Every structure is written in C-alpha cells, then in structure tokens.
C-alpha cells in the first residue's frame, strides 16, 4: 500500500536524505531528519525549538557536529506548557533547565563571554601564527589543554601569561608585533590591563 504523506513531510524526507548524503552518511539517521526539518523551516518542531529559545542556525551546527551536550533554558507562561517544553527539550539534550527571563539574560551574557568572545580570540590567535606554520597544529593542542583544565578547577586557578607575571618586556614586544593590526593591539593592551587588575 502506498503511503500518503503531506508535501511538507515529503520535503523533509527528501531534505533528510540530501543531508545524510552531504555528511557522507550511509544511512538516514535521526540527526539527518532533524536537519531536514530545520531545512524545511516550518511546522510544530520549529515552533517548539523557538519556544525553547534555541537559535535554529546554532542548533543546526550542533547537530552537524554531533554535539547534543549543549544547554537549554526554558521559560513558559503556565505549568502545562513548561512541562511540555521541558520534556521536549530533554529529547534533544540532557541539559535542560528552567529559568526566567532575567536569569536567561544573565546566562546568555555568560555564554557570550564563554563562547562568542572566546571564538573571536581563537580567530585572533590564528591570525597571529606566522606564515609557514599550520595554526591547527600549533594552537589546537593548547586550546584543548586550556579547556581540559577547567574540569579540575576554576579559571582563576589556571590563569597564566605575561600580564599575570607583569612581564612588561614581553608585553611591549607583543604590542610591537601587533603594530600592523591596531584592533588586535588595542585588544591585547586592554585584556592585559584587565588581567593585571584582576590578579593584583
């Protein structure tokens, strides 16, 4: 018997197959169906994700990276909706929590520092790697080690570098190297001063 699906479902199935092919998968898994739903862009699933405060573009990237270890904070106008959203969120990630608007704003701010700004600093670090060297080979081990340390203590316990040591000679040399990158030079100086004050 031939199955009869709506055009939207047919589109999602086609998109899911294309996503699996794009990601070099031999089968269409749940993650590819999710990507198909996101690509189709409408329907209840999209509404629920937006209701959870999830940015669809970010969620898509997380799925492509096979990372379900991200955090969702939920707020609803009533207990029934809250319960539904929480149950739905836990199908996507084990890290689903309740938080009101004010709390979510503070958590978002923390996330900007922990992810968005850090990612920009990674890009700045890549820009500073001399030609002839592979930035991935030079920096990824250091970046991974820095993150790994946080499993064993707080960031303040592991802060290092010339600003902490008040090594003005090294700081001046770095500022000189950045003379052709004034925006990074300003950033380096600002962060160095902030670190000095925090650990004085």
Contacts of residues 125-131 at CB distance under 8 Å and 24 or more positions apart, as own/partner, are 127/181, 127/184, 128/177, 128/178, 128/184
pLDDT at residue number 157: 95
Query: Are the beta carbons of 196 and 166 closer than 8 angstroms?
Result: yes
Residue 116 is given by DSSP the state: I
Spell out the residues 6+ positions from residue 162 whose beta carbon is closer than 8 angstroms to its own: 170, 171, 174, 192
Does the pLDDT value for residue 2 go beyond 50? no
CA distance 97 to 107: 12
Query: Are the beta carbons of 35 and 60 closer than 8 angstroms?
Result: yes
- Encode pLDDT of 19-48 as tens digits: 778 877 777 776 777 777 777 777 666 776
The shares of helix, strand and coil residues in the chain, as percent rounded to the nearest 5, are 70, 5, 25
Residue 166 is given by DSSP the state: T
Identify the residue whose tokens are 């070099």.
24
**pTM value surpassing 0.85:** no
pLDDT at residue number 30: 67
**Cα angle 114-152-171, degrees, rounded to a multiple of 5:** 55
Which is more confidently placed, 77 or 165?
Answer: 165
Does the pLDDT value for residue 119 go beyond 70? yes
CA distance 92 to 11: 22
Query: Are the beta carbons of 160 and 170 closer than 8 angstroms?
Result: no
- Encode pLDDT of 171-189 as tens digits: 999 999 999 999 999 999 9
pLDDT at residue number 73: 86
Work out the percent of the chain whose per-residue pLDDT is above 70.
84
């Amino acid at each position: 018997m031939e199955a009869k699906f709506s055009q939207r479902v047919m589109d999602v199935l086609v998109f899911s197959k294309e996503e699996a092919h794009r990601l070099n998968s031999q089968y269409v898994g749940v993650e590819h169906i999710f990507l198909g739903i996101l690509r189709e862009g409408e329907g209840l699933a999209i509404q629920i994700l937006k209701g959870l405060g999830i940015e669809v573009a970010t969620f898509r990237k997380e799925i492509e990276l096979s990372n379900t270890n991200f955090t969702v904070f939920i707020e609803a106008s009533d207990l029934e909706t809250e319960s539904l959203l929480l149950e739905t969120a836990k199908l996507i990630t084990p890290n689903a929590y309740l938080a009101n608007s004010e709390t979510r704003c503070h958590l978002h701010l923390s996330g900007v520092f922990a992810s968005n700004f850090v990612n920009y600093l990674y890009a700045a670090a890549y820009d500073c790697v001399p030609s002839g060297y592979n930035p991935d080979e030079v920096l990824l081990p250091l970046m991974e080690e820095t993150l790994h340390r946080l499993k064993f203590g707080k960031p303040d316990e592991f802060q290092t570098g010339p600003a902490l040591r008040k090594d003005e000679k090294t700081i001046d040399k770095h500022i000189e190297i950045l003379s052709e990158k004034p925006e990074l030079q300003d950033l380096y100086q600002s962060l160095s001063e902030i670190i000095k004050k925090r650990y004085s």
